[in-house]
Amino acid sequence: MTEEPKNNETQNKPKLSIYWIYGIIALIFIALQFYSSGSNPEEISINDFKVNMLQKGHVQKIVVVNKETVEVFIKPSELGKGRYPNPPTGWGMANKPQYYFRIGSIENFEKQLSETQQDIPLEQQIQVYYETRENYFGTIISYLLPIILIVGLYLFLLRKMAGGNGGGQIFNFGKARVKLFDKENNTKIDFSNVAGLDEAKVEIKEIVDFLKNPQKYTELGGKIPKGVLLVGPPGTGKTLLAKAVAGEAHVPFFSLSGSDFVEMFVGVGASRVRDLFRTAKEKAPCIIFIDEIDAIGRARGRNPNFNTNDERENTLNQLLTEMDGFESNSGVIILAATNRADILDKALLRAGRFDRQIQVELPDLNGRIEIFKVHLRPLKQLAEDVDVEFLAKQTPGFSGADIANVCNEAALIAARKNKKNVSKQDFLDAIDRIVGGLEKRTKVISPKEKKIIAYHEAGHATVSWMLEHANPLIKVTIIPRGQALGAAWYLPEERQLSTTDQIFHEMCATMGGRAAEQVVFGEISTGALNDLERVTKQAYAMVGYFGMSEEIGPISFFDSTGQSEYMFTKPYSEKTAEKIDQEVKRLVKLAFDTACEVLTKNREGLDKLAQKLLEKEVIYTEDLEQIFGKRKSSQTEENSQSETTEEQQNQAHE
Q: Which residues bind ligand ADP (CB under 6 A)?
A: 1, 194-197, 234-240, 337, 371, 374, 400-401, 404
What's the closest the beta carbon of residue 248 comes to ligand ADP, in angstroms?
15
Q: 654 contacts which partner out of Zn ion, ligand ADP, none, CB within 5 to 8 A by kind?
A: Zn ion
CB atoms within 10 A of CB 44: 16
Q: Which residue of the chain is nearest ligand ADP when measured via CB?
A: 400
Candidates 196, 513, 544, 605: give the one binding Zn ion (CB under 5 A).
513
Is-contact 651 474, C-beta < 8 A? no
> Minimal CB distance to Zn ion: which residue?
513
CB nearer ligand ADP, residue 374 or residue 487:
374
- Calpha distance 65→131 (Å, rounded): 5
From Zn ion, ligand ADP, none, which one binds at residue 44 (CB under 5 to 8 Å depending on kind)?
none
- Shortest distance, position 249 Cβ to ligand ADP, whole Å: 17
Binding mask 456-485 for Zn ion (x = CB under 5 A): ------------------------------
Q: Which amino acid is at 219?
A: E
- The C-alpha atoms of residue 257 and residue 592 are separated, in whole angstroms, by 47
* Nearest Cα residue to 131 out of 76, 66, 81, 188: 66
How are beta strands 99-102 and 332-338 bridged, if at all? Answer: unpaired
Q: What is the largest CA-CA distance in the chain?
A: 132
- Rounded Cα–Cα distance for residues 117 and 51 (Å): 11
For Zn ion, give the closer residue by CB, 322 or 654: 654
Residue 362 or 524: the one with the smaller Cβ distance to Zn ion is: 524
Total Cβ atoms within 10 A of residue 222: 13
Tell me the residue length of the chain.
654
Q: In the beta sheet, which residues pair with residue 475?
A: 489, 620
Long-range contacts of 16-25 (CB under 8 A, 24+ apart): 17/167, 17/168, 18/155, 18/167, 18/170, 19/167
C-beta of 195 vs 268, nearer to ligand ADP: 195
The single residue of 322, 370, 457, 583 carrying the catalytic annotation is 457
Q: Any contact of residue 291 with Zn ion (CB under 5 A)?
A: no
CB of 455 to Zn ion, least distance (A): 11
506 labelled catalytic: no
CB of 416 to ligand ADP, least distance (A): 22
Q: For residues 296 and 516, which CB has a smaller minimum distance to ligand ADP in the complex?
A: 296
Residue type, 512: G
Find the shortest distance in angstroms from Cβ 231 to ligand ADP.
Answer: 10
Strands of the sheet containing 69-74, edge to edge, are 42-43, 99-102, 69-74, 59-65, 127-131
Residue 531 contacts which entry, ligand ADP, Zn ion, none (Cβ below 5-8 A, type-dependent): Zn ion
Q: How far is the CB of 461 from Zn ion (least distance, A)?
A: 10
Binding segment (CB under 5 A) for Zn ion, from list 420-428, 525-533, 542-550, 602-610: 525-533
Q: How far is the CB of 435 from ligand ADP (least distance, A)?
A: 17
- Which does residue 485 touch among ligand ADP, Zn ion, none (CB within 5 to 8 A, set by kind)? none
Q: Is 389 within 8 Å of 369 (Cβ atoms)?
A: yes
**Please, which residues have CB within 8 angstroms of residue 351's CB and are 6 or more apart in sequence?**
none
Closest CB to ligand ADP among 374 and 430?
A: 374
Residue 638, helix vs strand vs coil? helix
Residue 513 binds which entry of ligand ADP, Zn ion, none, CB below 5-8 Å type-dependent: Zn ion
How do strand 69-74 and strand 59-65 relate by DSSP bridges? antiparallel
Alpha-carbon distance 251 to 193, whole Å? 17
Q: Which of 248, 311, 409, 531 is close enough to bind Zn ion by CB under 5 A?
A: 531
SS3 63: strand
Least distance from C-beta 315 to ligand ADP, angstroms? Answer: 21
Q: Which residues of 643-652 are buried (b: 16+ CB within 10 A; e: fewer)?
A: eeeebbbbbb
Q: Which sign, positive or negative, has the C-alpha torsion 425, 429, 435, 440?
A: positive
- Return the one option of ligand ADP, Zn ion, none that residue 647 interacts with (CB less than 5 to 8 A, by type): none
CA distance 411 to 495: 34
Q: Which does 404 bind (CB under 5 to 8 A by kind): ligand ADP, Zn ion, none?
A: ligand ADP
The one segment of 164-172, 226-234, 400-408, 510-518 that binds Zn ion by CB under 5 A: 510-518
Q: Which among 82-90, 139-147, 511-519, 559-567 is the span making contact with Zn ion, rule CB under 5 A? A: 511-519
Q: Which does 238 bind (CB under 5 to 8 A by kind): ligand ADP, Zn ion, none?
A: ligand ADP
Residue number with CB closer to ligand ADP (225 or 235): 235
- Report, in Å, the least distance between residue 596 CB and Zn ion: 14
| Contact in structure between 176 and 279 (CB atoms under 8 Å) | yes
Given strand 618-620, what is the order of strands in its sheet? 487-490, 473-477, 618-620
CB nearer to Zn ion: pick between 178 and 535: 535
Contact 541, 556 (CB under 8 A): no
- Residue in 648, 630, 654, 618 with CA at minimum distance from that of residue 471: 648
480 binds, among Zn ion, ligand ADP, none (CB under 5 to 8 A by kind): none
Q: Which is nearer to Zn ion, 230 or 463 (CB)?
A: 463
The set of catalytic residues is 457
Site residues, Zn ion (CB under 5 A) = 513, 531, 654
